[in-house]
Amino acid sequence: MPTESFAGFVTGGVAVTLPAQLFAEVVPDIEDEAELRVTLYTLYAIGRQRGALRAVRRSALEREAPLVRSLAPCGGVEVLPAALDAAIERGTLLMCSLTDGDTLYLVNNEAGRRALPRIKSGALEVPGGVAMGAVPASDRPARAAQVYEQEIGMLSPAVAEALARAVDRWPEDWITEALRLAAQRNARSWRYAEAVLERWETEGKDDGTTGSATSRADRDRDHGPYDRFILRS
């Protein structure tokens, strides 16, 4: 029994919205008390965040006094990593490992699923850290991802992978110029920008630079519905 009864919620107190599915589909299946407590508190901690990045670090959760206190009957804060792993396995949370050894957690909702590939590509920066496998914002893949979001639209996992391959194949300024060209011609898609890059690679750019040598047949290949937009020298 609690030593003191709860006095009740105050009017005007800060509210955190939790999805109805949590109580109807997730909570009834959670048997481990630590997982339940950690899941609820992590959703609360993420819900407090403001700005583009709605996520919380594990190190931050370890310093949350209410969470630490609530885990005391379950074995203490030492059970936090296992409880978080259980929430990941259940599908309640998403995670991203950081190069500083910490782990970032997001809610597995539409916003979280959109944000995760942006974090991993470097397009969405993590204050004080870098996603494992991503590169600092000063490097080419991250810059290409940022230009894509500025000129084309939201970065998807498939496009993030395509950009990672592209920076190993073409110069950075080519990629950013092709993305901006796609936006100028109202053909906002990676497929269009990639077709432009392939043409430059085989035929050379107007500034006289060239890419890798390829066959005439490759140079003349059909680029599909975007072929008519691509001006040939």
With a cut of 60, say whether residue 212 has pLDDT above it.
no
Alpha-carbon distance of 24 to 18, in angstroms, equals 12
Residue 67 burial (C-beta neighbours within 10 Å; 0-12, 13-18, 19+)? buried
pLDDT in tens, 102-115: 999 999 999 899 88
Do 179 and 148 form a contact (C-beta atoms < 8 A)? yes
> Integer distance in angstroms from the first to the last C-alpha of the chain?
81
Do 142 and 134 form a contact (C-beta atoms < 8 A)? yes
With a cut of 60, say whether residue 116 has pLDDT above it.
yes
Of 1.10.3720.10, 1.10.10.10, 3.90.76.10, 2.40.110.10, the CATH number of 20-121 is 1.10.10.10
Do 206 and 232 form a contact (C-beta atoms < 8 A)? no
- Joined together, the tokens standing for residue 215 give 């066959």
The radius of gyration of the chain's CA atoms, rounded to the nearest angstrom, is: 24
pTM exceeding 0.85 = no
Sign of CA dihedral 153, 154, 155, 157: negative
Q: Please state the rounded mean pLDDT for residues 65-91.
A: 97
With a cut of 70, say whether residue 223 has pLDDT above it.
no
Q: Which CATH architecture has domain 140-229?
A: Orthogonal Bundle (1.10)
With a cut of 70, say whether residue 56 has pLDDT above it.
yes
Instruction: Pinpoint the residues of the chain covered by CATH 1.10.10.10.
Output: 20-121
